[in-house]
Structures are given as structure tokens and as C-alpha cells.
Amino acid sequence: MPGKDYYQILGVNRGASEREIKQAYRKLARQYHPDVNPGDKSAETKFKEINAAYEVLSDKEKRRKYDQYGEQWQYADEFAKAGGQQSPFRDFRGGGGARFYAADDMGGIFDELLGDFISGARRRRPRRGSDLEYPVEISLEEAYHGTARMVSLQFEEPCSACQGSGRIQNVPCSACRGAGVVPRIKRLEVKIPAGVDNGSRVRIAGQGAPGYGGGASGDLYLLVSVKPHEAFERKGDDLYAEVGVPLTVAVLGGEAQVPTLNGRLVLKIPPETQNGRIFRLKGQGMPHSGDASRGDLFAKVKVVLPTKLSAKEKELFKQLSQLRSS
């Protein structure tokens, strides 16, 4: 009976690094997420497979057991106690390097090696639920002020009828069809703090998948991406923007309006300010995550030349040119 190849599901080779596995997972999670594919059952199924594969391959110990025992990795300790390190599953390799596992006698092996151990009290000992990740895209304004989102999480939780064992008195559980888990959808409002940036991971404690046998739930991690802004460039917690300054103000001095993410400010322009000069507005940048301080805003002067000059204005510029050349 062929089993699922978690490496193939994530599209990575068996020697993939942790970073390659995480990158593959994030790409696929965004592609098949239910919010991106509403009503698409095939995408929903694929999303569940991706999460199941990542839960195992992102954990060094689980991955080691999976590489040895395949989909039965969670019984690795029981196999080792019952019959040493030798797995009861034969390792096959199909075309294209695909790998799957099969047992000569599934019922006999499980009855002999595990028996009531799987469905008994020791199998139901508390176990923490897995962590979940959810991609969230926000605007720069939302990153500045902080925001909230309603998220829809799809995961599997332990079946209450069999306590996650998949069996009741050595018979497959009818409630979960022997899987030990049942699908669930949970919607909740999550808060995204001010100051987050691209790649930030916001932890929502206890909102991951439920635990087994009374174990604690895992955590939810929001994977934040911030959309580009038309007026501001962000570098860390500092912001950069251009400020239009009329030629007369740049020459004679005056004031200019500077946009910020919290309204406009008045900037004093000294006489003879050159095009491209940068003014630093302290504390007008992005909030620092975790404290009350802020980055800075750097305003770059862009001198705006006058257009549609009147005859008198042109004459004055000619006089100025003659004065400057004399």
C-alpha cells in the first residue's frame, strides 16, 4: 500500500536543507491557501497535505523518524522497543525517485508489535498540538499603526471518540475512519502589532492545532508581508520620501509640507537650499517593534521649477541671469 511522500508533496529532494523546506512550504501554502481558493476542494486537500508534510519535515527528530519509518514515523519508539531499529515497512523506490513504503501484513504487524499499546492509555498521553503558519499581507499604514485581521484556519484535530488513536478496542474508529484526526475550520480575529516588516513572524499563543490527550494547543504564526508604498521607501524602521519645494522657496527660504504616515508636517526650508538636500525628521519613521521608540523620516528636497511663465516673469529671470553672469 503506497504511502505519501512528504518530500514529493513539498517538491524538494530528500537532502533538502531546513531553509529549502521552509521556502517550499511558504510558496505552496500561499498558492493553495483556502482564502486564495474559496470553495476549491482539491486546493483544500492539497493545503492539508502541505501542512502535514511541513509539520514533519520541519522538525529534525520527526524528519529522522520519517526517513526511517515513512508515514508510521509516530510509532518509531514503539517499533524500536518491540523489534529493534528495523522497520516493518519495506522501502521501495518508484520511477523518478519517488519513495513509498509497504507492509507485508499490515494487520498482523500492527497487532503483533503494537497491540493495545496504540489504543491504550499510553497512546493517549498528552501531546502538544502542532504550530500553524498563516500568510498575511498588509499596507505600510497598517504596519505603522497596527491592525487586525480575520483569519480562517484549516487543520486536523484529534478525534474525541478515540482520543486520537484511530482505534477503539482494536477496531478502527468509525468517527474518524481510523485516521485519529478530524478536519476542522476555525475563524478568529488576530492583532498585528505596529512596527512589523516584511518577513516578520507574529506569534499568537495557543491558537495552533489542538493537542492530543489533553495536551496544549500549538501556536499560530502570522507570516507578514508589507505592500510597497507609492510615497515612502522603507529601510528598517526609517522612511524616505521626496518633498516638492517651489524654486522661489528653495532660493529665498520658507516652508514646505512633508507627508508622514501620521499626517503632514511643516518643514522650514533655509534660503539657497539645493536640490537633493536631505532633511532628517527624528521620530517620524516606523515604530520599533516591542517598544515606544520610532525610526526617522528622511525628506529629500525636489525643487519644482515654475511653468507657464508670464512675460514679466521671463524678463525678471533674464535680469537675474545677467546679474549672475556679470
Q: What is the pTM of this model?
A: 0.58
What average pLDDT does range 144-150 have in this prediction?
94
pLDDT digits 0-9 by tens, 250-308: 999 999 999 999 999 999 999 999 999 999 999 999 999 777 889 999 999 999 999 99
pLDDT band at 3 (very low <50, low <70, confident <90, very high): low
Whole-number pLDDT of residue 324: 84
**Nearest-angstrom CA–CA distance, 128 and 238:** 40
Whole-number pLDDT of residue 83: 52
Domains and their CATH numbers in the chain: 1-114 (1.10.287.110), 123-227 (2.60.260.20), 233-325 (2.60.260.20)
- Average pLDDT of the chain, as a whole number: 82
Res 228 pLDDT > 90: yes
pLDDT digits 0-9 by tens, 47-75: 888 988 988 999 888 898 888 878 777 77
Whole-number pLDDT of residue 84: 47
Name which residue leads in pLDDT, 212 or 121. 212
Whole-number pLDDT of residue 243: 96
pLDDT band at 94 (very low <50, low <70, confident <90, very high): very low
In the chain, pLDDT over 90 holds for what percent of residues? 45
pLDDT digits 0-9 by tens, 230-243: 999 999 999 999 99
Whole-number pLDDT of residue 65: 86
pLDDT band at 114 (very low <50, low <70, confident <90, very high): very low
What average pLDDT does range 17-23 have in this prediction?
91
